[in-house]
Amino acid sequence: MLTGGCFCGYIRYEAGGTPFHETICHCTICRRSTGGACVAWFSVPKAEFRVLSGHPAVFNSTEHGTRSFCPQCGTQLTFEDTAFPEEVDVTTTSLDEPEHVGKVPPKDHTHVATRLSWLHLDDELPQFPEARDRE
């Protein structure tokens, strides 16, 4: 079971199941909604994600995408897409132990067509100009 939460501690969650779609996203929406140069995400079955404490705020970042975040400190926690109703994407760095070996390291980079030009990628992970094909 993976556990995590927001910066201030108001939101706590757990994510079960086997993580999938581990990625670093470079899309403009992810960058703008987090204030970061890119965002590391992983997915889990929606039925395996549970908020343990607090009440996340949500907003629609697109007509099909909803993001949740802490209403107190602003930490972005999840992304849900109506096209994939059975899964939820979780921000990797909101995990309690994001570097724990074997947990959810990124397996690729997505949306590199909109990557910031000054962010140089040399980690040898596969790069996709847009979203990768969904398995």
The CATH number of whichever domain residue 71 belongs to comes to 2.170.150.70
Q: Given this model, what pLDDT does residue 133 score? A: 77
Q: Given this model, what pLDDT does residue 20 score? A: 95
Low-confidence stretches of the chain (pLDDT < 70) are 101-102, 134-135
> Is position 101 within any domain?
yes
Q: Given this model, what pLDDT does residue 102 score? A: 66
- The total domain count for the chain is 1
Q: Given this model, what pLDDT does residue 99 score? A: 86
124: left (phi over 0), alpha (psi -120 to 50) or beta: left
Classify residue 21 as exposed, middle or buried by CB count within 10 Å of its CB (0-12, 13-18, 19+): buried
Tell me, rounded to whole angstroms, the distance of Cα 76 from its chain centroid.
8
User: Among residues 6, 12, 18, 1, which one has the least CA distance to residue 87?
Assistant: 18
Question: Containing domain of residue 94, as a range?
Answer: 2-114
Q: Are 36 and 64 in contact (CB under 8 A)?
A: no
Q: Given this model, what pLDDT does residue 132 score? A: 84
